[in-house]
A = this chain, B = another copy of it.
Amino acid sequence: MARNIVPKEQDYSQWYLDVIRASELADYAPVRGCMVIRPTGYALWEAIQRAFDEAFKESGHVNAYFPLLIPSSFLEKEAEHVEGFAPECAVVTHAGGDDLEEPLVIRPTSETVIGHMYSKWVQSWRDLPILINQWCNVMRWEKRPRLFLRTSEFLWQEGHTAHATREEAMEETLRMLEIYRRIMEEHLALPVIAGEKSEGERFPGADNTYTCETMMSDGKALQAGTSHFLGQNFAKAFDISFQSQEGRQEFAWTTSWGVSTRLIGAIIMTHSDNDGLVLPPRVAPVKAVIVPISTDDAVLQERLLPRAKELADRLNAHLGPRSVAVDTQFHLRPADRFFHHLQKGVPLRLELGEKELAALSVRSVRRDTADKRDLSWEGLEGAVASILETMQADLLAKAREFRLARTRSVETFEEFKERLDREGGFLEAYFAGGKAEEKAIKEATMATVRCFPLDDDSRGTCFFTGKKDAKRAIFARAY
C-alpha cells in the first residue's frame, strides 16, 4: 500500500485527492475553486477529447468557437436559464481601463450567445439542421470546489444543434446520448445507465434532460454527461426562426449536450485503487513503460537501454506515437521506478533486466491485476496490444459487476432509507413524484433521482406516492 495515499476504505475523499496528487493529474490554482490540469491530466483529457470528437465528426457535427463573454442581458431572455445560472456567474465590469456599459458574464454555458448567432444564420429550412460543437472553458463559481468534479473553471464540449422539426431535435438529443454512452463504455470503461432526468434535475431551460449516470467505487452516483431537448424555448427567446419548405415562418427546435473534465474524476473514482491511479488503456496517454534494470551501469547503458529504445520504437509504430515510454530514472531504486509509473496509472510495465535480455523477452506486469507474463521480443507488438485490450475489457466488466452488486430494488420508503444507510449504492424504485416529492426525499436521505433508465419500460406502484403506473427510477446519493 502506498504511503502517500490514504486507503479509500479509511477516507474516500482524501484518497481521491491523494491519487490526484500522487499521479500529478492536477493542482490547485492560486484562485480559489480553480485548478491547473498538469501534463498527465491534460494528456488524459486530450485522449478523451479525441474519442468524443471523432464520434461527433463521424455523426456529421462540426466544431466552432463562440465568445467567452456574454452580455448579462442575454441570460435574462430565458427565465429558467437565468434563474439557474445567474447565482454562479463571474462578472466582468471593466475592461481596457474603462467601466463597461453592460456587465459581461463569463460563459457558464453558451445556449444564449449561440442562440443569438443562430438567429442571424438561420433564414430558411435549407439552413437547417445546424450541428455545431465547441470545446472550451466555462465558469460556474463554486463554493465547495473539488478537483475535476466541481471547479469554478472547467473544460468541456458543448454541442448546440438547431432543427426544423420537433422529431428531428428529439432524435438528435437521443443520438448524442447514445454516442456518450458508447464512448464512455468503449473508451473510458465507464458502465453507464442512460436515462431521462426527473423534473427537478432538468437543465434550466430544457424541456427534457437525458443523462449518463455511473457509479463510483464508494457507491455514489456521478452524472457523466447530459443531453438536453430544449424544445423551442431558446429559439423563441433568441428568435431562431425560419421559412419552412411550405413557406411558413416557424421557430426552430434546439438541443444541447455536454461532457467535461469531470469525466477524469469519474475515471479516477471508478478504476483507481489504494496504490494510485488506474487508467483504461485506450485513454491512457502512456500505455506501457519499458524499465531497463541492472546494477551494472555498463550493461544498463550499453546493452539494456539501446534495446529498450528499439523495442519502444517498434511498439510506438504499432500503438501510436509516444504510447510507450522508456524509464531512465537510473538514480532511483527499481522498486521506486516501478512505483512511480504505477501511481501514474501506466497500464503496463515492461521490465527488461539481464535475465530478460538473455531470453530475448520482457516481463510484463499489468497495473490493475499485477498479472505477470514473459513476452518474447518476437511479436511483442501483438502481445502488448492484446494484453491492453484484455485489460480494457476487464476494467469495464469489473466496474459493471461492482455496480450490479450495489444496485437494489426497493418497494417502500422505509426500505429505501434502510438500504441507503446500510450499503449506499443505487436503488431502483417505481416513482411518480414531482419536484416536491423529489425535494422531500432529498432532504430526508440526501439521495436524488439519478434517472429513469431508457431501457426499462416496466411500470409499477410508486414507492413514495402510491400512484399506479409509475416508471422505474434509479436513486442514489451523488457527486
Are A88 and B92 in contact, CB atoms less than 8 angstroms apart?
no
Q: In the complex the two chains form, what is the Cα distance from A121 to B21 in whole Å? A: 12
A69 within 8 A of B: yes
A67 to B: closest C-beta gap in Å:
4
A70 CB contacts on chain B under 8 angstroms = 30-31
Please indicate which of the listed interface residues A41, A62, A143, A155 has the most CB atoms of chain B within 10 Å of its own CB: A62
Q: B66 to A29, Cβ gap below 8 A?
A: yes
Whether A39 and B57, one on each chain, are in contact in the complex, defined by CB atoms closer than 8 angstroms, is no
**CB < 8 Å: which of B29, B36, B43, B69 contacts A90?**
B69
A112 smallest CB distance to B (angstroms): 9
Contact A67 B117 (CB under 8 A): no
For A57, list chain B residues within 8 Å (CB): 321-322
| Contact for A69 among B34, B65, B67, B104, CB less than 8 A | B34
Q: Which of A18-33 contact B (CB under 8 A)?
A: 27, 29-31
Residues of B within 8 A of A43 (CB): 62-63
Residues of B within 8 A of A35 (CB): 67
Whether the Cβ atoms of B87 and A91 lie closer than 8 Å is no
- Would you call the interface of chain A mostly helix, strand, loop, or mixed? mixed
* Candidates B42, B68, B143; contact of A96 at CB < 8 Å: B143
Which residues of chain B come closer than 8 Å to A210, judged between CB atoms?
none
A425-438 interface code vs B (CB 8 A; 1 in, 0 out):
00000000000000
Sort chain A's interface into a size bin.
Answer: 35 or more
* Smallest CB gap from A66: residue in B: B36
Q: Is the CB of B91 within 8 A of A65?
A: no
Q: Which of A168-225 contact B (CB under 8 A)?
A: none
- A33-64 vs B, CB cutoff 8 Å, 1 = contact: the mask equals 01111110111011000000000010000111
Q: Give the residues in chain B near A90, CB-CB below 8 Å.
A: 69, 92, 94-96, 104
A46 touches which of B36, B63, B104 (Cβ 8 Å): B63
> How many Å from the CB of A281 to the closest CB on chain B?
19
Task: Determine if B96 and A94 form an interchain contact, defined as CB atoms under 8 angstroms apart.
Answer: no
In the assembled complex, A452 has its CB within 8 A of some CB on chain B: no
Task: Known contacts A65-B36, A67-B31, A71-B30; decide if A141 and B96 are in contact (CB<8 Å).
Answer: yes
Q: In the bound complex, do residue B69 and residue A31 qualify as a contact, i.e. CB atoms below 8 Å apart?
A: yes
**In the complex, given contacts A27-B117, A31-B104, what are 10 additional A-B residue pairs having Cβ atoms less than 8 angstroms apart?**
A29-B66, A31-B67, A31-B71, A38-B64, A57-B321, A68-B139, A89-B95, A91-B93, A96-B142, A106-B106
User: What would 26 A/B residue contacts be, using CB atoms closer than 8 Å?
Assistant: A27-B120, A30-B71, A30-B74, A30-B113, A31-B104, A36-B65, A36-B66, A37-B64, A39-B63, A39-B132, A42-B62, A42-B64, A42-B65, A43-B62, A43-B63, A57-B322, A68-B68, A87-B96, A87-B97, A89-B96, A90-B92, A95-B152, A96-B141, A96-B142, A96-B143, A136-B137
